[in-house]
Chains A and B, each alone.
Chain A
Amino acid sequence: MQKNIMLFAMILLSFSAFSQEDLQEVKITKKQKGIKKSFTVTANTSVITSKELLKAACCNLAESFETNPSIDVNFSDALTGTKQIKMLGLTSPYLMITEENIPSVRGASQAYGLSFTPGTWIESVQITKGAGSVINGYESISGQINTELLKPLNDIPFFLNAYGSTDSRFELNTHFNKKISDKWATSLFVHGNARVAKNDMNKDGFLDNPLGKQINVLNRYQYYNPESGLVSFINFRYMNDKKQTGEVDFDKDRDRGTTNYWGSEINTERFDVSTKIGYVFKDMPYQSIGFQNAFNSHKQDSYYGLNQYDIKQNSFYSNLIFNSIINNTMHKFSTGLNFTYDQYQEFVNLTDVSRIDNSVGAFFEYTYDNTDNFSLILGGRVDNHNRLGVFVTPRLHMRYNPWKNGVVRFSAGRGKRSANIFAENQQLFASSRTFSILDSNGKIYGLNPEIAWNYGVSFSQKFRLFNRNADAGFDLYRTDFQNQAVVDVMQSPQQVLFYDLKGSSFANSLQVEFNYELIHNLNLRTAYKYYDIQTDYLRGTFQRPLQAKHRFLGNLEYETTMNNDKQWRFDFTYNWSGKQQLPYTASNPSADQFPDFSPAYAVMNAQVTRVFSPVFEVYVGGENIGNYRQEKAILGANDPFGPNFDASIAYAPIFGQMYYAGLRFKIK
């Protein structure tokens, strides 16, 4: 802490010329909603506030979407316990995931990156369905998730959160905040988590969730001077995460690299520095310049049984943006430049597949708003990438309010990306599958870039029902792949094939939502989702494996009225998932087969929070309280080095019911 203050003082001195005037801070507090949906924003965006994040056990960003209809939380694999997310039926590589508008989960961090942002650090999350904006890049295909972290100037001096659960996971979050001057503030966030005991509830000899340790430290500085119009953020972050999974009897010092017991370790170390500086022109509040720079180094050393996978990514990202108007604020534009550099040092079973990617791009985005019932965002960008070539990315969003409290939206856009096939599919290393790349003419592991178009329409209407607030709506999206790096587990249970799409691949999704305030302070949220995601594989056309065609989400929240600063909050979530296509295993001996489709199942979570005062609150909850478990979690578990071993097929929870308790302590 003292070091930080020293460092900070030094930075402060260099800025002191600008920090002489006073600033008047205005704080607005009102009753917050968990998920906010605007009827006047152009894109189909919902905002998850920090209040919503308190509803679940929610230890990190990956786990914070369980009560959200736009995002499906899946189970990544029987081993690592990391939760993967999907939007419009597509996995996170097809999403643009940013932290304060700087791309964060990409490349090497794709598989586990979401679990590296602790939940308590988050101020809000904005989820945009569909093509998204061109400002941050060309990679997003089915949506964007942007996380805003707590801002030092608005933060409280001290926050403590402790958490423990019956699956023996413990977490400790401490936040310190200091206002150094009226224009400078700093926050220090320290997060630690650990899972210390081995759990094997299904008695297959394998851990149900990994042993782990994580330390994660963020130190950030914020400068704000309303007189000069200057805003700045500087962040430093260090993360070290260690996981061990596999057989219960596996001893990493004794058994690594042998066939005594099957085991796996995934060790990640990451370092981030990012800076942001913004300037709002004097007398022109509608005109501004922003400049962002981020450097990060991400290193993962891992092995899955005898498969070894090491990846290190050094990245630099830079974004210069200028915002202004044409004639008046009904016509706004943003324009600027991006630069990205990624150096990958990647070794798959000691085979060197390292590469360097770089790109420069320019974007222009025009926004029209008639200040009444119609708005439009038309964006385009041109990029020059050493592997993807020179290409154009157009995107369009429109919003129209045909009548009061109703909104119609339309979006269309193109996305293009290089698939990091090993990093994105590394759960498949936890199997006896051989990895084969069938194409060799492309520039990314022999494959061509993925290109997709996404189109969507949505409608939403607020109304009064029996004198209480209600809203209902639907959205319909289609993603059409022109090319895809197909991950084929439909051919053989002993193989995974990667090849350029031959034929067609698309993802259709429909979501119908209904939300209602049943009685005062008791809110119901329901959503039904239909997915039709088909890809032409070598063996024929199949639904995307491990994707349910039908899903249903129900959430009930109740809170008592604040009484002497005391409050009860109750929350219940019901998640139903229909049958899912499973990878092809019919050629295995019958004991090591899965049926073509998984059974349908439901998971229920509940939580109770007691607020004792603005300073102190306690929560207890349960996850999967119906105790649903995938019957057979691992194929060939009795012979993990045999040909039929596969721990990558997880369609349901492995662990069963889990209960947790935690406390939050704040000094304001």
Chain B
Amino acid sequence: MNKIVLIAMMVFLGFSAQAQTKKNKNLKYTTEVNGNCEQCKKRIEKAAYGVPGVKTATWDVGSHQLSVILNEEKCSPADLNKAIAKAGHDTKEVKATTEDYDNLHSCCKYVRE
């Protein structure tokens, strides 16, 4: 049992040592994305997964928080924000164009700030 714990710890140490020298392969990034409903959730998450390097993406309907883990070697949070805005959803960093916003389904037309 203890051996396994040790091995697990060693593996873990190996990973964290690597993470400090290079760009973060598992960057946790959270931002606010405007939207309304389950359909928005699907669209936002689909847009996030469309960015190469995004490993996992969850948007919470209630809090409007988009939580992402991404590989900085392949993309940046800015790429992510751009892709979300392109899908028609305003993020804290990047606003969607009026054209992209107008393409949204009627129930997804959130109130813009």
**Interface residues of A, Cβ cutoff 8 Å to B:** 14-15, 18, 228-230, 232, 275, 277, 279, 281-286, 289, 291, 325, 327-330, 371-372
Q: Closest approach, in angstroms, between the C-beta of B8 and any C-beta of chain A?
A: 4
Q: List 7 A-B contacts (CB under 8 A).
A: A229-B12, A277-B1, A277-B5, A283-B69, A328-B54, A329-B57, A371-B46
CA A478 to CA B26, docked complex, whole Å: 45
Residues of A within 8 A of B19 (CB): 283
Contact of A14 among B2, B8, B16, B56 (CB under 8 A): B2
Q: Which residue of B lies closest to A328 (CB)?
A: B55
Whether the pair A286, B15 counts as a contact (CB closer than 8 A) is no
Known: A229-B12, A230-B8, A325-B55. 5 other contacts (CB 8 A): A14-B2, A18-B5, A230-B5, A279-B8, A325-B56
Whether the pair B55, A371 counts as a contact (CB closer than 8 A) is no
Q: Which residue of B lies closest to A279 (CB)?
A: B8
Q: Which residue of B lies closest to A371 (CB)?
A: B45
Whether the pair A371, B56 counts as a contact (CB closer than 8 A) is no
Q: Closest approach, in angstroms, between the C-beta of A262 and any C-beta of chain B?
A: 50
Q: Closest approach, in angstroms, between the C-beta of B9 and any C-beta of chain A?
A: 8
Q: Closest approach, in angstroms, between the C-beta of A474 and any C-beta of chain B?
A: 27
Which of A277, A279, A328, A329 counts the most chain B CB atoms within 10 A? A328
**Interface residues of B, Cβ cutoff 8 Å to A:** 1-2, 4-5, 8-9, 12, 15-16, 19, 26, 28, 42, 45-46, 49, 52, 54-57, 69
Q: Closest approach, in angstroms, between the C-beta of B41 and any C-beta of chain A?
A: 9
Residues of B within 8 A of A15 (CB): 5
Residues of B within 8 A of A279 (CB): 8, 12
Whether the pair B1, A286 counts as a contact (CB closer than 8 A) is no
Whether the pair B55, A372 counts as a contact (CB closer than 8 A) is no
Residues of B within 8 A of A275 (CB): 1
Q: Closest approach, in angstroms, between the C-beta of B68 and any C-beta of chain A?
A: 10
Residues of B within 8 A of A229 (CB): 12
Q: Which residue of A lies closest to B54 (CB)?
A: A328
Whether the pair A282, B12 counts as a contact (CB closer than 8 A) is yes
Contact of B4 among A282, A291, A328, A329 (CB under 8 A): A291
Whether the pair B42, A284 counts as a contact (CB closer than 8 A) is no
Residues of B within 8 A of A328 (CB): 49, 54-57
Q: Closest approach, in angstroms, between the C-beta of A361 and any C-beta of chain B?
A: 21
CA A450 to CA B73, docked complex, whole Å: 51
Q: Which residue of B lies closest to A278 (CB)?
A: B8
Residues of A within 8 A of B28 (CB): 283
CA A277 to CA B57, docked complex, whole Å: 27
CA A281 to CA B25, docked complex, whole Å: 13
Q: Closest approach, in angstroms, between the C-beta of A374 and any C-beta of chain B?
A: 12
Q: Closest approach, in angstroms, between the C-beta of A427 and any C-beta of chain B?
A: 41
Q: Closest approach, in angstroms, between the C-beta of B56 and any C-beta of chain A?
A: 4
CA A369 to CA B57, docked complex, whole Å: 13
Q: Which residue of A lies closest to B26 (CB)?
A: A283
Residues of B within 8 A of A329 (CB): 55-57
Q: Closest approach, in angstroms, between the C-beta of B10 and any C-beta of chain A?
A: 11
Q: Which residue of A lies closest to B50 (CB)?
A: A328
Q: Contacts A328-B49, A371-B45, A372-B46 known; A285 to B56 CB distance under 8 Å?
A: yes
Whether the pair B55, A286 counts as a contact (CB closer than 8 A) is yes
Q: Closest approach, in angstroms, between the C-beta of A25 and any C-beta of chain B?
A: 21
Residues of B within 8 A of A284 (CB): 26, 55, 69
Which of B8, B46, B54 counts the most chain A CB atoms within 10 A? B8
Whether the pair A327, B45 counts as a contact (CB closer than 8 A) is no
Residues of A within 8 A of B42 (CB): 371-372
Whether the pair A277, B4 counts as a contact (CB closer than 8 A) is yes
Q: Closest approach, in angstroms, between the C-beta of B13 and any C-beta of chain A?
A: 10
Residues of A within 8 A of B46 (CB): 371-372
Q: Closest approach, in angstroms, between the C-beta of A432 and any C-beta of chain B?
A: 52
Q: Closest approach, in angstroms, between the C-beta of A666 and any C-beta of chain B?
A: 32
Contact of B15 among A18, A228, A282 (CB under 8 A): A282
Q: Closest approach, in angstroms, between the C-beta of A537 and any C-beta of chain B?
A: 51
Whether the pair B49, A281 counts as a contact (CB closer than 8 A) is no
Residues of B within 8 A of A371 (CB): 42, 45-46, 49
